[in-house]
Structure 1
């Protein structure tokens, strides 16, 4: 194939410039059409993404009312100076309880007799039992029987199994301290020794020198005259839905625990729902704006999908308007909603189950709203399908552009061949013309 590398060869025709201009003129309409189509399609994909985002936020907000999410919360009020604190869940029964903390649970702590830090207590095996658990055997090697050595051996063997060892240096010498990590009688420590030289027997709880610094004791609390003992200071099952944290023993004293309804969690969820609903409506309105009179048209202007979604959402609110109004809800001309907090507090005090009946999983508004949102943004929803179709269109445009570029490459090659042939022919004609001119000039001289 002939190659043209610069202007002025042969006939002097600017082949490269001509070919470039012809190819550019031929490809411009299709380039513009594909670019415009691609830009429009990507804008629509982005617009549907904005709609999905708005509706997903609304879906998350309504799901907060699933299960017991639409039930009023609970608030615990404890009498001043009580030896306990309380937290309550939504299942706690409303009412007042009289509670007294007679005793706190304490963890067992043992001290050895004091001795010099270098004294070898002995060697053999220490068996440590925590409550009713299986004994933990700790081997003390010969020559490794100081209190510090024994401490290290115990911690290495029993780490995380209910007991810890330390050495406290006092005026009389070193003291081995064994502490149960389990409060109450269920964590009581029992120590025995066997084997070796018998020296470890001084660390046994029976026949040895170990003394109790803190006795293992269970917590004791009296609730409405009913006594309950527990191995720890946190009771999660004494009162249904209530957790008691015991902080100080106050024998003979009784304090009140009042469990009352707390609408603030549900109110906060409703405010989130309102904000999410208004955000979704605004996204629908923005992306489907028709434009005109100086206003910018949205990417989905003229598309029926956002209009249909808007009508569905507003229709659901309209169908339940009287119930919503009773809770303090209001609607604006543009379809957005708001809530009068004071009116809500008053309504919910009179009818605690109103929120569940409207927004719960089976609620008059909650159930159809959940279903409607699934039909739009679920795996087989309208917006999901529309987005997939647009993604496929982008792929098709890419294929079309590749095919178009290949065709334009062939067109450019054809132009090059044509102009190369033209250049060659004109070059030959110029040579022939020059030859004839020379011959005629010589003929004239001879004549």
Structure 2
């Protein structure tokens, strides 16, 4: 009689469970992976578009304020004793400037203090020092008893001042150490006053009045003559002597006039225009790349078929088209792909003839500046379209994670169900095999009895 076989888990039936579970999981995993891949790629694509548009926004911002006006070229005579820079508010013209004196730093020095008989630093004294620089607050320095050598006084002053207002150092001469105090401010505004109090009276030698301190540098103001007009300054930088011009004094040359001339300079404006063109082309390129259609042998870009890149491109090109006549007069040209380029010679000629041309287009109220800046703000702002789309995609990924976790739990339940079913099947087959063995045994005994 034939017997019933029981393959059981040990004979390979258990291998069906992973296969069945994998078959159950595959469609769901494929769906989740596809959605996740597409959403992640689109988030990245919108990030690249944002980078391109932000670059354009930054380039456009360079024309705000005085950025759309001609710059200033500053020319200074050879070995003039000063340098100069100017902003666009400076009036064109020529000036004769004589640097009569430079602003210097007030510096005081003590009398030399030799070492004591034992060869150690001698003690000047102890008590309180009060150092005032100009109209500033007094710096109070306490010198403890036994801590009154010039080196220790130097350290105490520097620790208290912290590099501000005044600095102290030692110069070691043949006759002994000399304490040198220097103001950190130039000119008469930085002159120091030193007073002492308390202690053993030894610090009185450092008082600026009645002590032994001598003036190493008086700390005088700078003085210049501009077209014969005298101007003094506590600093060697003059920011307001001439409107829009900063003059840095480097060398005193009393009685020697040197020229300073200001002429218009279109090069900064041209550089800003080239920067704008480059940023515009980069933005268009990013939009094209991220929305490109696929071909027979390649898939489409992440935003292929999405209306957003097309809408943004149309907005940018529309702003250019609306002002194309004025842009063309400045030497701008468009390529077949919509990109911009600049004819530098034509730009120079146009600006020379009409210095306000760029201001009318790209200044604060410019015909191109206003609509394009507004469009970029609406796209890139916190409530802008791109952020809205990106937030929606991130939200989709977040919900997808929840869906995947729910799916994983369902697959776990499926696996558990298969395991229970195959376990029951294994038990049933085992029981049937046991029954089969018993029946075979009984039939064998009956056959033997008949034969006997």
Give the TM-score normalised by the residue count of structure 2.
0.86
| Residue in structure 2 matching 1:34, options 27, 32, 39 | 32
Counterpart of 1:330 in structure 2 is 333
Matches within 5 A, 1:4-403: 14-118=12-116, 128-133=131-136, 147-148=150-151, 150-152=153-155, 154-156=157-159, 158=161, 160=163, 162-191=165-194, 203-403=206-406
**RMSD of aligned Cα (Å):** 2.9
Instruction: Name the CA distance, whole Å, in 1 between partners of 2:314 and 2:389.
Output: 19
Which residue of structure 1 lines up, in the alignment, with residue 119 of structure 2? none
Displacement of 1:54: 1.8
Deviations 1:317-368 (A, max 9, x none): 1111111111211110011111122222222222222222212332111111
- Cα deviations by residue, 1:368-397 (Å, 9 ceiling, x for unpaired): 111112222221222222222222222222
| SS of residue matched to 1:108 | strand
Residue aligned with 1:270, SS: helix
CA shift in 2, pair 1:327/1:14, >3 Å: same
How many aligned positions are there?
441
**Which secondary structure state, in structure 2, belongs to the residue aligned with residue 109 of structure 1?**
strand
| C-alpha contact (below 8 Å) 2:186/2:221 kept by paired residues | yes
CA shift, 1:291, in A, is: 1.7
SS at match of 1:180: strand
C-alpha distance in structure 2 between counterparts of 1:390 and 1:228, whole Å: 64
Counterpart position of 1:4 = none
Higher mean displacement: 126-135 or 46-55 = 126-135
Distance 1:415 1:74, change over 3 A: same
Unaligned 5+ segments in structure 1 are 1-6
Counterpart of 1:3 in structure 2 is none
Distance, in Å, in 2 between the alignment partners of 1:412 and 1:141 is: 84
Q: In the aligned structure 2, how far is the partner of 1:279 from the partner of 1:16?
A: 59
Query: Which has the larger displacement, 119-128 or 358-367?
Result: 119-128
**C-alpha displacement of 1:407:** 1.9
- The answer to whether the Cα contact below 8 Å between 2:6 and 2:426 also exists between their aligned partners in 1 is no
Instruction: Describe the SS at the equivalent of 1:82.
Output: coil
Stretch deviating more after TM superposition (172-181 or 391-400)? 172-181
Structure 2 unmatched runs, 5+: 117-121
Q: Does the residue aligned with 1:436 lie in a helix, a strand or coil?
A: helix
Question: Which deviates more from structure 2 when the two are superposed, residues 341-350 or residues 128-137?
Answer: 128-137
Contact 1:107 1:181 in 2 (8 A): yes
- The secondary structure found in structure 2 opposite 1:421 is helix
Deviation per CA, 1:140-164: give whole Å up to 9, x if none: 6666665555545554555546444
The answer as to whether partners of 1:15 and 1:416 remain within 8 angstroms in 2 is no
Does the aligned pair in 2 maintain the 1:284–1:306 contact within 8 Å? yes
SS state of the match for residue 181, structure 1?
A: strand
The separation in 2 between residues aligned to 1:194 and 1:407, in whole angstroms, is: 87
24-33 or 361-370: bigger deviation: 24-33
